[in-house]
Amino acid sequence: MRGSEPATLEIDREYYGVVGETKVHRYVLRNQGGLTVRILDYGGIIQSLEAPDRHGESANVVLGFPALEDYVANNEPAAARVYLGSIIGRYANRIAGGTFVLDGTEYRLPRNNGQNCLHGGTAGFDTHVWGASVMRSPDSVGVRLTHLSPDGDQGYPGRLATTVTYRLDNQNRVHITYLATTDAPTVLNLTNHTYWNLAGEGSGPIDDQRLMINAGRFCPVDADLIPDGSPIPVDGSPFDFRTPVPIGARLGVDDPQLSLAHGYDHNWVLEQAEAGSLSLAARVHDPRSGRRLTMWTTEPGLQFYSGNFLTEALIGTGGRPYHRGAGFALEPQHFPDSPNRPDFPSTILRPGDAYRQNTVFELDLD
C-alpha cells in the first residue's frame, strides 16, 4: 500500500447536521495510498475508514452509523450504548461502584453499567460536540479537537482542558494524540473506541481474523468485569495472543473468564521497552482481504473487546445489521478501576502536569 512517490493528502470539511443548537461537521481525510477517513466533531467519532484490499478493492473497515441522529440516539442514557468510533473520557473502562477516593475526598460518579461507572458516565466525552480545526503539513492532514470539561462534570473533580488530534500520513498511518491539563487533582484515562472489521463493516463476524497482542499478562475480572486481583500470565490460556491466533478460535472454550465477559473484554498488560514509549501493542490480519492492522501506543494497557454485545438492532453505515462479533475494539488505555487500585499504574493528573498519549494505527497488506 506504500508508494514510492510522496502521497497527495487532502482534507475536506462538510456540514453534517445539528445536535441541540450546535452545528456538527464531518472531516474527510484522504491520501494517495487509498485511505479515506471520515471524522465527526461530535464525540470525535471515526465514522468510516476506507482501505483497499490485496486486489485494490476498497471497503470501509470500521463500524459506524449512517447518520448523525443514529449516534445521538445511541448516546441516550436508556440506549444500549456501543460507543462506535468515539473518544472516551473522562475515564475509559470501568470504575467499581462508581466511586473513588482522591486525596482523602470521595467522589461519586454515575452508575451506568450496573453498579459501575463505564466510559466516563452517562454524558461522557462521546456525547459532546468538540471544537475543531483543520491541520495541514507536508506529510499529514488532520483535525484538532478541543473540549473543556467543567469541574464536577459527571462527578469528576477539576476543570479539564483536553485536545485530541487525528492525523493521516503518507504511510497509511492514523495518529491519535491526546493532551490534557487540569486546575485541580483528578483522574483521567482516555481512549478511542473504534470497532474494526478488516474484511469490511457488515461483512460478517471477525472470528477468522488473526490477532497478536504483545502482552504476557492480562487482568482477570469478576462478574461485574472489574479486575479481580493482580494481572496473571496468559500462558496456557485462551488469552495468549503472543503469536497470531484467529479471534474466534477459542471463544467456545470452557473458560470462566470467557464466560463472565461473554467473550473477550479484558485488559492486557502490554510489553514496553520503556514506560511511556511508543511500543508495538497489537496486530490483526484478515486472510480474506489481505488487510493488516498494526497498533502502537504509549499506554501500559490494551482493552481487547470482541464485540460480545453488538446486536442486529444496530444498522451500520452500509445498511447491514451488526450481529454479535461484527467488529473488535483495540482500546489503548490505563487499567480499569485504577483510581481504586494503588497497585496499578496511576491515573492521577495534578495541576502543572500534562496527560499525554500517542497511539498509531497502520493499515497495510500481506
What is the set of active-site residues? Answer: 193, 331
Q: Is the peptide bond preceding residue 90 cis, with omega within 30 degrees of 0?
A: yes
How far is Cα of residue 259 from the mean position of the Cα atoms in its chain?
A: 23
If one counts every other C-beta atom within 10 angstroms of the C-beta of residue 277, the result is 11
CB burial class (10 A; 0-12, 13-18, 19+) of residue 253? exposed
Q: Could you tell me which residues come within 8 angstroms of residue 144 by beta carbon, excluding any fewer than 6 positions away?
A: 132, 133, 134, 135, 163, 164, 165
End-to-end CA distance of the chain: 10
For residues 208, 217, 306, 366, the Cα torsion angle rounded to the nearest 10 degrees is -40
CA 225/CA 313 separation, integer angstroms: 24
- Residue 294, CA distances (Å) to 238, 260, 271, 361 in order: 21, 28, 15, 6
CA 93/CA 120 separation, integer angstroms: 8
**Alpha helices of 242-286 — where are they, by DSSP H?**
256-261
Contact 35, 141 (CB under 8 A): no
CA 196/CA 28 separation, integer angstroms: 18
Positive or negative: CA dihedral 153, 155, 160, 164:
negative
Query: In the block, which residue shows the cell 481474523?
Result: 209
CA 164/CA 130 separation, integer angstroms: 10
